[in-house]
Homo-oligomer: A and B are copies of this chain.
Amino acid sequence: MPEKPEISSLTLNRLSVYLRCLRALEEEGVETISSQELARRFHLSSSQIRKDLTSFGEFGTRGVGYDVSTLAQRIHELLGLDVEHRLVIVGMGHLGSALASYFRFNDRSFRVVAGVDTDPDLVGTRIGTISVSDAADLPRVVAATEADIGVIAVPADAAAGALDRLVAAGIRSVLNFAPVTLGEPEGVRVRDVDMRVFLEEVAFFLQDSPASVVSADEPR
């Protein structure tokens, strides 16, 4: 695998969006596309596209545009999606159950393999394609399913404990949906996704005297 450059989370997020757009174009049978057309079609910034795509290698041919399938495959590989990742969800209440459905998409890259909860009424039940295990069995569940990504879907006050138990079970990448900021233990990647933050962002624009907003730096 070639040496990868320094890359920010925001750039990673944009690459994920580009990948989704390129896959849509592939399905339509589009073979090449310019940065301008990619920007126009998907409401993105063409200068940002050019900047992002040159920062880790030259994909485009000047005047012709990008080869859609080649670019998609390169981003797919760069994001590490050429292997299947297995998700274990901690907290199988409303949110955890919804995430189990949501992440069960038609994609070779991610698969929900396990869910755990502390609620005795939930343990042993089936939710979608997985059965819910006891949270106390997390190390065994992670080992048995070879899960490599943890998804935290517990209340805020239980999130830090859930992270500790995931890390103790050998998980190194975690997506945290609890509305609390978790630190990153050594060698572990934690991404906090507090959906209320996005709600508060759109609510901001409903004020009578909205601020002028600069949005060039946001991951869209």
A residues engaging B (CB < 8 A)?
A: 1, 3-10, 12-13, 15-17, 19-21, 24, 42-44, 78-81, 85, 87, 94-95, 97-99, 101-103, 105, 109-110, 148-149, 156, 172-175, 179-184, 189-220
Distance to closest chain B CB from A217 (angstroms): 6
- The one of B16, B200, B202 that contacts A174, using a Cβ cutoff of 8 Å: B202
**Copies per complex of this chain:** 2
Indicate if the CB atoms of A213 and B6 lie closer than 8 Å.
Answer: yes
| Pairs A-B, 3 closest by C-beta atoms | A98-B98, A4-B211, A94-B101
Indicate if the CB atoms of B43 and A183 lie closer than 8 Å.
Answer: yes
The residue of chain B having its C-beta at the shortest distance from the C-beta of A202 within the complex is: B173
Give the dominant DSSP class at A's interface: mixed
Indicate if the CB atoms of B214 and A8 lie closer than 8 Å.
Answer: yes
Indicate if the CB atoms of A9 and B79 lie closer than 8 Å.
Answer: no
Provide 27 A-B residue pairs closer than 8 Å at the C-beta atoms, listed in order of the A residue.
A4-B211, A6-B213, A7-B211, A8-B214, A8-B217, A8-B218, A9-B215, A13-B197, A16-B196, A17-B197, A80-B203, A80-B207, A81-B200, A81-B203, A87-B199, A97-B98, A98-B98, A98-B99, A98-B101, A103-B199, A149-B199, A149-B206, A172-B205, A172-B206, A181-B220, A191-B198, A197-B219
The residue of chain B having its C-beta at the shortest distance from the C-beta of A9 within the complex is: B218
Indicate if the CB atoms of B12 and A204 lie closer than 8 Å.
Answer: yes
